Amino acid sequence: MFSTKKRLDRAYQNAKTIDFDNSSKFILLSDCHRGDNSFADDFANNRNIYFHALKYYYNEGFTYCELGDGDELWENMSFKTIFNAHKNIYLLMKKFHKENRLNLIWGNHDMVYRDASYVKKHLSTYLDAKTGKNKELFKNLNYHEAIVLKHKDTKQELFLTHGHQADWWNYIFWKWSRFMVRILWKPLNIMGIADPTSPAKNHKELIKVEQRIKKWIVKNNNLFTITGHTHRPRFPSPKEIPFFNDGSCVHPRSITGMEIENGTITLIKWYIDTKENGTLQIVKNRLEGPNKLSYYDV
């Protein structure tokens, strides 16, 4: 617990602060694990759902906060292959960035992004295949370990981070985990065998990670906290410890996330549904909420 406390304390103390009020709108997603569109790319099955949802949030004026593991840089060696596989998505994210509506947090699978020089080198531009020249992508982009949304009126704080700070193996030894995934678990994943070191695929480890985070929240005066990492959505009642999880974008045939709008928070799900005439459509459903943020204000 001490190590978890130390890591989460540091993330909170060094977090980027964003002021907001009841007119602000945020969409929180995490664990997209965008890959190279191969059989090992878990994101590929949901890419159309994700793109449709993100386009909706862009048009509706939401700010996009991605809480880690956006890019799958354990299975893939470089951002370039991921960009080429999902170019339309990154060009949409570029629109958010140009309007100062993009806030990115690094997780264990994209932990290389904590190095600002790496981000500048690999994400600032991309090669346009038509012209053979570099075009601007994410100019002056900064990744963060954590973000604090601070309400202008109530001063309530919402602490956003990936959550792998409570998972010592995937935080301290992430390079070893990355090596094992690339060499061993990626080919086995194609065969349907899950990585047992991942809390998203190991229930016992998932419970341990959640318990460590909850202990830290209680020791920090029940700080409103939203994470990803485990892929398991969490939406507590106002009487419970304010530990939320936005789920992931690699659920079977669906993605989940958190909307913050009109001073409320809602757990949502986007998925493909069938109309009566047999055609398919992408729809949004509320899983929990909306609950007023003030219900959780201590």
Domain residue spans of the chain: 2-296
Considering the domain 2-296, what is its CATH architecture? 4-Layer Sandwich (3.60)
Q: For 118-169, how does the pLDDT look when each residue is reduced to its tens digit (9 = 90+)?
A: 999 999 999 988 888 999 999 999 999 999 999 999 999 999 999 998 886 6
Q: In the structure, what pLDDT confidence band is assigned to residue 297 with cuts at 50, 70 and 90? A: confident
Check whether 96 has a pLDDT greater than 90.
Answer: yes
CB 35, CB 42: distance < 8 Å: yes
Best CA proximity match to 163, nearest among 119, 115, 212, 113? 212
Confidence (pLDDT) at 1: 47
Distance CA 152, CA 186 (A): 45
CA angle 139, 141, 144 (to 5 degrees): 175
Q: For 181-203, how does the pLDDT look when each residue is reduced to its tens digit (9 = 90+)?
A: 766 655 656 555 555 545 555 67
Confidence (pLDDT) at 178: 66
**Which residue in the block uniquely carries the two structure tokens 């500048």?**
120
Cis upstream peptide for 290 (omega within 30°) = yes
Best CA proximity match to 18, nearest among 5, 28, 31? 28
Distance CA 212, CA 210 (A): 5
Confidence (pLDDT) at 290: 97
Confidence (pLDDT) at 166: 87
Check whether 293 has a pLDDT greater than 80.
Answer: yes
Check whether 229 has a pLDDT greater than 50.
Answer: yes
Q: For 30-84, how does the pLDDT look when each residue is reduced to its tens digit (9 = 90+)?
A: 999 999 998 889 999 999 999 999 999 999 999 999 999 999 998 888 999 999 9
Q: What mean pLDDT comes out for the span 234-253? A: 96
- Please tell me whether the overall predicted TM-score, pTM, comes out greater than 0.85 for this model: yes
Residue with more model confidence, 253 or 188: 253
